[in-house]
Homo-oligomer: A and B are copies of this chain.
């Protein structure tokens, strides 16, 4: 749906104002922004049109108008421009990353806090998922009786712990030998090539060891498959400060959402087609729980593979432009930092 220029400008003013104040916007307020070049009455007519077109609604007859989700969508698609972050801010952020560089977990926590601090909304960060396909090295450590700990290290240098119960208790020697067998396989082959049959055909390995190896490989594969990447989130308390979350029911709902890591993870994963930034507004969100919120997400990469995502959750009247710039830059910083870890 295309709008003529004046309608578009009016819509923009209304959206901007509503994002700022959370108050319905009246024709006079809009007129003031136009410095008397158009009268309030004209704007009233235009606003009435915009309402008919589904861009605005009135909470009640004698109130101003507020933007609909359709309006936000139009704003995000056609009006808003994502600016570069100011240099000062960029520098500050960059310096922050310098301090945490090197440690993946630190980068992730720093990012989570940074996002919620700078945007004043809630932030979600999905840390890289360790997958069997990237497995480079593996270490088996006996913990207690038949229980062992398998530590998986990926080619990117990420680490994951998996606890398994085997059919037999291992000595330290056993565990070293088994680790060695798997690691020498990993040295020559790609992890995905290691399977059931391959283990059966190994030479110089007793039948008992084969059983254990199979238990371990399958156990690890299953665990990694089921294991979600870590979801970190902060800043729900930021959201509580906005008037739309003034009543207790909304708060309760919000707190519950923030605790359901899986909902957040799902929302963050979504489909990232070609665009870098993905913005979903209110109902556009998959989860029922996020219908009254907006989400802006982006991904981060290592060697052209998407390995995680970061995002910001806010009210539908979110500062889309500002948050977008922020995410774009922070995504860039993360990519740089991950690369640095890899090449260091």
Interface residues of A (CB under 8 A from B): 102-103, 137, 139, 141-145, 147, 149, 151, 153, 157, 159, 161, 163, 165, 172, 176, 183, 234, 236-237, 240-241, 245-248, 251-252, 255-256, 259, 341-342, 344
CA distance A236 to B251 in the complex (A): 11
Smallest Cβ distance from A156 to chain B, in angstroms?
8
Residue from B144, B234, B247 in contact with A344 in the complex, judged by beta carbons closer than 8 Å: B144
For the complex formed by this chain, how many copies does it contain in all? Answer: 2
Smallest Cβ distance from A341 to chain B, in angstroms?
7
Structural contact, A240 and B251, CB atoms closer than 8 A: yes
User: Are A143 and B139 also in contact (CB < 8 A) when A163-B159, A259-B236 are?
Assistant: no
User: Are A103 and B246 also in contact (CB < 8 A) when A144-B157, A255-B251, A259-B237 are?
Assistant: no
Chain B residue at minimum C-beta to C-beta distance from A163: B103
Which residues of the partner chain B approach A145 to less than 8 Å between Cβ atoms? 344
CA distance A68 to B149 in the complex (A): 51
Structural contact, A252 and B240, CB atoms closer than 8 A: yes
A interface: dominant SS: mixed
| A to B CB contacts below 8 Å, 6 in the list | A103-B163, A137-B172, A139-B139, A139-B151, A145-B344, A240-B251
User: Are A157 and B153 also in contact (CB < 8 A) when A255-B237, A255-B255 are?
Assistant: no
CA distance A342 to B84 in the complex (A): 57
Smallest Cβ distance from A113 to chain B, in angstroms?
12
Chain B residue at minimum C-beta to C-beta distance from A187: B172
CA distance A341 to B161 in the complex (A): 19
Structural contact, A161 and B163, CB atoms closer than 8 A: no
User: Are A234 and B259 also in contact (CB < 8 A) when A153-B149, A161-B161, A172-B183 are?
Assistant: yes
CA distance A141 to B157 in the complex (A): 11
Chain B residue at minimum C-beta to C-beta distance from A103: B163
CA distance A183 to B175 in the complex (A): 14
Which residues of the partner chain B approach A241 to less than 8 Å between Cβ atoms? 252
Smallest Cβ distance from A138 to chain B, in angstroms?
9
Which residues of the partner chain B approach A341 to less than 8 Å between Cβ atoms? 144
Structural contact, B151 and A157, CB atoms closer than 8 A: no
Structural contact, A143 and B147, CB atoms closer than 8 A: no
Chain B residue at minimum C-beta to C-beta distance from A147: B157
Smallest Cβ distance from A147 to chain B, in angstroms?
7
Which residues of the partner chain B approach A237 to less than 8 Å between Cβ atoms? 252, 255-256, 259
Structural contact, A151 and B144, CB atoms closer than 8 A: no
Structural contact, B248 and A236, CB atoms closer than 8 A: no
Smallest Cβ distance from A106 to chain B, in angstroms?
10
Structural contact, B157 and A159, CB atoms closer than 8 A: no
Chain B residue at minimum C-beta to C-beta distance from A153: B143
Smallest Cβ distance from A100 to chain B, in angstroms?
13
